[in-house]
A = this chain, B = another copy of it.
Amino acid sequence: MTAPEPDPLPDDDVDWSNKRSDARRNHERVVAAAVEVFAEHGIDATIPQVAERAGVGKATVYRSFPTKDALVQAVAQYQRAWFHRRGLAALEQLNAGGDPLTILRDMLADTVERLANDRALAEALPATTPAQEPGSLQPIITAGQRQGVIREDVTAQHVKVLLGGVAGSLFRQQERDPEQWRIYGDLIFNALKKV
């Protein structure tokens, strides 16, 4: 039900075959550090923070990513990719004849659990555009709407905004209680259901 771990890191479309292994290790360290630091501090984290976490100099971060924004986008893409994969898993369940509401509830629960540990995902989620993610949440919502169990004015985008927005707020007030996070997931699930 959960996504496979560890998540693959973004590859940046670089052909690493003829690069030195330590360089690749450092690149991965940078990305991993960025994922961690952004997870903790959001996209306001600074390049020096990332560099220190990775144990490299600032300029090494710039070797992998030419601007801070590029790094932010890479991490955001990585986060969206997780969400996308989770959506594909849900889609398989749906195609296997699963119940849309159940699948949706589980997916929301998983996502909230991850959001609780990853501020960057919270910030990346609403920025997703439907075209970029054919899998995602939309098919499940559509299926539920066909069955008349999900509100007809709801789209995946609404869910992402609700999830991302709530997570952002909870991070800001440093809510760490998993039970509270779970409740919010359940409330959002409830918001989508047809009365």
Contacts and interface: CB of A to CB of B under 8 A. Distances in A.
Q: Chain A interface: which size bin? A: 20 to 34
Q: How many of these chains are in the complex?
A: 4
Given A158-B183, A184-B158, A190 B151 contact: yes
Contacts of A135: none
B166 A162 contact: yes
B166 A161 contact: yes
A89 interface: no
Question: Top 8 nearest A-B pairs by Cβ distance?
Answer: A165-B165, A191-B191, A165-B169, A126-B169, A165-B166, A187-B191, A161-B169, A190-B191
11 contacts: A126-B169, A126-B173, A153-B183, A154-B187, A158-B183, A162-B162, A168-B168, A168-B169, A190-B191, A190-B195, A191-B191
